[in-house]
Structure 1
Amino acid sequence: MIKLLALTMTLISTSAMAEWTKVGESSLNGGYTAYADVASIQKAGDRAKMWALFDYQTVQKTSGVEYLSERIRREYDCKQKQMRKLAYKFFSWNMEGGDLIRSYNQPQKWVPVPPDSVDEAEWKVACNN
């Protein structure tokens, strides 16, 4: 009975987690790998929303906090090739591990997607799926 309960709890907790697909790497900010949660994509007209994860090789510092991974909810304008942050969360360890350090839910301004960048690879995943 205990084994069945443990298996059920594992399946429930695993299904609640994001399934990250690697979209690129960069040497910026000490190096990081970018991932997309393809299952989180929501489309409406020429726009798409998706969760992304930035997994850093070195500790990042912002507004007095240190973190190793950042989960970002973005909105993409697929026609105008723009993107903006809607929400984000900082985690103390890699791949959303450890403690949730800080979270924000403040839509930012639209910015152009830079060509040949990790952001462009992410934009393509969101807009082409």
Structure 2
Amino acid sequence: MYAIGETFYYEIFDEEYELHVVGDIILGGKEYIIAEDFEGEKRAFLFDENEEDVILIEDDEALEIIEHWEEEYFGSGADIGDWDEDGYYDREDSFAVDVDDDDEESYISENFVEEEDSYDEYEEDVDSFITGLMEK
């Protein structure tokens, strides 16, 4: 079976298409590949394990397979999740906020905390250490 990200060529109506595998799904015990051409058109293919070949699925059956795949892999699109070692955990993306130019400075000061530099004390310690070594 082709892996996601692989490219293969397939002749459709006497024209050869370069297709990129964007997904796969198993329905009713059969393996299907979802591939996309350069124009973004998705097509469904049945993977024949015995012949190690792909067979184009057309019309309503292809649309149904692609819809099942989109539901399974994209879901509703409203939930955002990240992978953690133990599984998925929910998070919210709140960075994309519409801010007017006038309010940009106040938005930054309210939402981002800048850490104060504490290098002055560190530099003084290093300077006194080096001076102490030089005097010996």
On whether the aligned pair clears a TM of 0.5, the verdict is no
Higher helix content, 1 or 2: 2
TM-score, structure 2 length as denominator? 0.29
Higher strand content, 1 or 2: 1
> Relative contact order, CA 8 A, sep 6+: which one is greater?
1
Which of the pair has more CA radius of gyration?
2
TM-score, structure 1 length as denominator? 0.30
